[in-house]
Amino acid sequence: MEVIVQTDADRAAYLTALLIADKIRNKPDLVLGLATGRTMEQVYAHLARFHKRDGLDFSLCRTFNLDEYVGVPPESAASYRYYMNQHLFSRVNIDPRNTNLPDGMATNLKAACQQYESRIRACGGIDLQLLGIGTAGHIGFNEPLSAMQSRTRDKSLTRATLEQNAPMFGGNPDLVPRRALTMGVGTILEARHLILVATGAQKSEIIAKAVEGPITAMVSASAIQFHADCKVIVDEIAAAGLQGRDYYRWIYENEPDWDPYRALMSAYKPTA
Ligand code: GLP
């Protein structure tokens, strides 16, 4: 695992977008795993800018989202399908037929989850999976005690998640759906590369547990420690609880692999 600390949330999002853009340029038919949440909005805004400004081409990309609420139709502004259309799909040249989210409206949820896994396999597996982290340590909607080998399935959401996601439901946790379909921890670990992004004070404690704490099903994000190619990109505030942050900074400053990115980051000027 590599932990990259950036000064602020916008720079963390920009670096993440640069890494994704490079993967797309190297493999135009990339199978990209996507995440939702406020943290990702900035990442998608940068990708949309790369498309508009530099012609970053999504036309052959296939995408698989981590999760979707059960019982929220795709046209509802609270669905993750709606979120993805709004923040990314409508802003780049992706073919909508190449975009996939678990079907939370399916009459047979179990069958829908199995089909999702089959579709991922049929595309040759996920090349790069983007991850956020919930305050209870979930990746996707893998709430505490999710098995490390779990596959796409439906999960009951914890109170902490209902509260964290309430803003999309008028601020009322009781209006957040109780269940969601999510890729499993095992599904996520099979992706060839992982990038987990976390920003803000709310994430500092859980990032320290996920990155440096024991691997435990109580913090499903700690499963990233098993992965052979995982980058964790955080801002200073989210990095505050990390014991090794000076070492992580040193790696970013000195590893030749990061040279081109450091150059791009120093030239970066935030828009507005
Ligand atoms: C939701 C998603 C997660 C995401 C999390 C983080 O719960 N299901 O996949 O990681 O939000 O959200 P935010 O970026 O808003 O903190």
- The 10s digit of each residue's pLDDT in 32-72 is 999 999 999 999 999 999 999 999 999 999 999 999 999 99
Q: Where do the DSSP E strands lie in 73-202?
A: 99-100, 128-131, 153-156, 179-182, 193-198
Confidence of residue 271 (pLDDT cuts 50, 70, 90): confident
Report the distance separating Cα 115 and Cα 119, nearest Å: 6
154 bridge partner residues: 181
The predicted model scores a pTM of 0.97
Query: What is the H or E stretch that residue 232 is in?
Result: strand 230-235
- The predicted model gives 74-94 an average pLDDT of 97
> What mean pLDDT is reported for the chain?
97
Q: Which two tokens stand for residue 121?
A: 């396999």
Predicted pLDDT of residue 65: 99
Report the distance separating Cα 199 and Cα 207, nearest Å: 9
Report whether pLDDT(206) > 90: yes
Q: Which two tokens stand for residue 84?
A: 């993805």
- The predicted model gives 5-22 an average pLDDT of 98
- The predicted model gives 231-245 an average pLDDT of 98
Report the distance separating Cα 101 and Cα 99, nearest Å: 7
Q: Where are the alpha helices (DSSP H) in 59-184?
A: 80-87, 109-122, 159-164
Express each pLDDT in 146-155 by its tens digit.
Answer: 999 999 999 9
For ligand 1, atom 12, the nearest C-alpha belongs to: 37
Report whether pLDDT(10) > 90: yes
Q: Which residues are CB-contacts of 267 (< 8 A; sequence separation ≥ 6)?
A: none
Task: Name the DSSP class of 216.
Answer: B
CA nearest neighbour of 160 among 183, 137, 181 = 137
Nearest-atom number in ligand 1 for the CA of 40 is 14
Query: What is the H or E stretch that residue 234 is in?
Result: strand 230-235
Predicted pLDDT of residue 91: 98
In the reported structure, the alpha carbon of residue 127 is separated from the centroid of ligand 1 by a whole-number distance in angstroms of: 21
Report the distance separating Cα 262 and Cα 242, nearest Å: 22
For ligand 1, atom 1, the nearest C-alpha belongs to: 37
Distances (CA, A) of 47 to 53, 54, 226, 260: 10, 10, 28, 18
Confidence of residue 272 (pLDDT cuts 50, 70, 90): low
Q: Are 243 and 166 in contact (CB under 8 A)?
A: no
- The predicted model gives 188-212 an average pLDDT of 98
Express each pLDDT in 104-133 by its tens digit.
Answer: 999 999 999 999 999 999 999 999 999 999
Task: Name the DSSP class of 197.
Answer: E
For ligand 1, atom 11, the nearest C-alpha belongs to: 37
In the reported structure, the alpha carbon of residue 35 is separated from the centroid of ligand 1 by a whole-number distance in angstroms of: 7
